[in-house]
Amino acid sequence: MGMPRIGYHRLAPLLAICVAAASLASACAAAPARARHLSFGCADGRRIALTFDDGPNPPHTEQILNMLTTAGVHATFFDEGQAVEAHPAIARDEIARGMAVGSHSYGHSPDLPAMSHAAFADDLRRAEDAFVAALGAKPAIYRSPYGHTSAVMLEEERKRGYVSIGWDIDSEDWSDASVDRVVSNVLDHAHPGAIVLMHDGGLGGGNPDRSTTIAALPRIIDGLRQQGYALATVPEIAGITTNGGQAEATCSAN
């Protein structure tokens, strides 16, 4: 006996489902890998990371480094490539004092999220060239200017071996907030694994005066310690390691 015939009107939906499933599987298999993005670190233990963007920016970066060193604090600096080119000795001093250093693009362009793969890859490489010339190696972590990112950016960051870093506490020291407001923004929202956004640099070409940050920093350090927090770098609180040029984070929370 031959196989029973199935009318096309009954077969067509089944074929459509199979084609759609195959297309979805193909798309998933072909999806490019993206850099891991972290807004906070591991929550196991009372540790917080202070981070500073947009430097090096003399004399404010040196003043912040002196305050951190005096307090015995290791923080993380997300430096712009063009600023590293202009002030390589300060970038080297950050490393010498036990700070972590990450890339913050070459020139803090607001156009990065709209760039093509080739254009953004070029910006990454320009920043890397500055870091390699000053420090002998490229960073393992990257923070996008303004916190704005895109699939293209994360894909290219992955190719270059980065972990993407955001923040979950904004000190608002970039604004016209008072010293008291900057301090309370951090202390009132502190939690284990927090990454705090602060600035030592010129805010992407804006006002380079970091007097408010410098006035607030000792109070923030003291206040966090009074709450029982230890201050550490982003790689420390996120468990970031590098293997074969590819950075990975061990935290599974985000």
DSSP-based three-state secondary structure for 156: helix
Q: In sequence order, what are the residues at sequence separation of 6 or more whose Cβ sits closer than 8 angstroms to the Cβ of residue 12?
A: none
Catalytic position from the list 74, 104, 199, 200: 199
In angstroms, rounded to a whole number, what is the distance separating the alpha carbons of residues 160 and 242?
12
In angstroms, rounded to a whole number, what is the distance separating the alpha carbons of residues 203 and 45?
32
The identity of residue 152, as a single letter, is V
In angstroms, rounded to a whole number, what is the distance separating the alpha carbons of residues 120 and 105?
9
Catalytic position from the list 53, 123, 173, 200: 53
In angstroms, rounded to a whole number, what is the distance separating the alpha carbons of residues 83 and 108?
10
DSSP-based three-state secondary structure for 37: strand
Q: In sequence order, what are the residues at sequence separation of 6 or more whose Cβ sits closer than 8 angstroms to the Cβ of residue 191?
A: 40, 43, 48
Examine the residue annotation and report whether 53 is marked as an active-site residue of this protein. Answer: yes
Examine the residue annotation and report whether 122 is marked as an active-site residue of this protein. Answer: no
DSSP per position, 175-242: TT--HHHHHHHHHTT--TT-EEEEESS-TTTS----HHHHHHHHHHHHHHHHTTPEEE-HHHHHTEEE
Residues marked active site are found at 53, 199
